[in-house]
Amino acid sequence: MEWRLIKDSYHNGFINMAIDEAIMIAHREGLVPPTIRFYQWSPPAVSLGYFQDLKKEINIKVCQDLGIDMVRRPTGGKAVLHDQELTYSFIIKENDPLVNDSILETYKKISGGIIRGLSYLGIKAELVPLRGKLENHLLGRSDKARIHHLDFKSICFSVPSQYEVQVEGKKMVGSAQVRKGGVVLQHGSLLIKLEKDKLFSVFNFPSVQIIEKLKSKFKATSLEEILKKKIDFSELSNILPHGFEEEFGVRLVESKLTESEEKISKVLLENKYSTYEWNYLRKNNQLNFQR
């Protein structure tokens, strides 16, 4: 069985989200096979989970000062600062037997592919077995009361989630998923390099003291920290497909976006992902694509 692999280049956050939804639409209509896309972000961007409140959780001024875009994902989950990383999108029909129509099984299988891929780099990664309540034993009761909802719960890579990827007890891959029209779209970020100060600066917190406390307890890692050397996107995008092929028993064939997907992504960019209504208010018109 053949799936499609797209090794993409840098795009801004608005274009990246439009492309991923365009692939989702094309796959739903039977125009393209299941697809894995690897890509990067330029400029860096904070992607907000679908249900999050941008104004409440993101430090807009810091993002503007640092030239960091802010975009809402169609997937759920927590906010992510996309900077020095490999981002993947994984699009497949939710009734495909390889994911068994199960949300958790999809997470588990995709994470399994990443773990197998990382093994080619000599990295021994593992699945997070249970949904952790890490914040319960990271912080004292008084701290938790003061932080309330403006804490780890807003930030991806803060608390390991079930069936995500960790190395040496630290989270390395953050993932989020949406299912729409019978199709699964899963996003994930594999950290190449982690700049903790920059990450924490883009979120709203009640005080500097709380930021420093959370930073000291933050459990995430990156490829460069584990490997003790630099690694680039090109090398990663050549290695990781082997893990997905082994996990799913498929052959990944490198390709590009179709003309149809390019057209759909441009409409989505203009009418959804670049708009204030979508990013700040989570409102958008339902777009009807007819060809």
Is 63 a residue of the active site?
A: no
Catalytic residue among 99, 156, 183, 220: 156
- What does the block give as tokens for 279? 């990013």
Distance CA 27, CA 222 (A): 32
- Decide if 125 contacts 272 (C-beta within 8 A): no
C-alpha neighbours within 13 Å on the C-beta side of residue 51 = 8
User: How wide is the angle at C-alpha 15 spanned by C-alphas 14 and 21, nearest 5°?
Assistant: 95
- Please state the separation of Cα 273 from the chain's center in Å: 16
List Cα–Cα distances, 42 to 146, 159, 212, 234, in angstroms: 35, 26, 28, 16
What are the φ/ψ torsions at residue 165 (nearest 5 degrees)?
A: -100, 130
Kindly state the tokens that stand for 78: 């927590």
CB 106 within 8 A of CB 177: yes
In a 3-state reduction of DSSP, which class is residue 143? helix
DSSP conformational letter for 101? T
- With 0-12 / 13-18 / 19 or more C-beta atoms within 10 angstroms meaning exposed / middle / buried, residue 60 is middle
35-52 per-residue burial string, b: 16 or more CB within 10 A, e: under 16:
bbbbbbbeebbbbbbeeb
List residues with catalytic annotation: 156
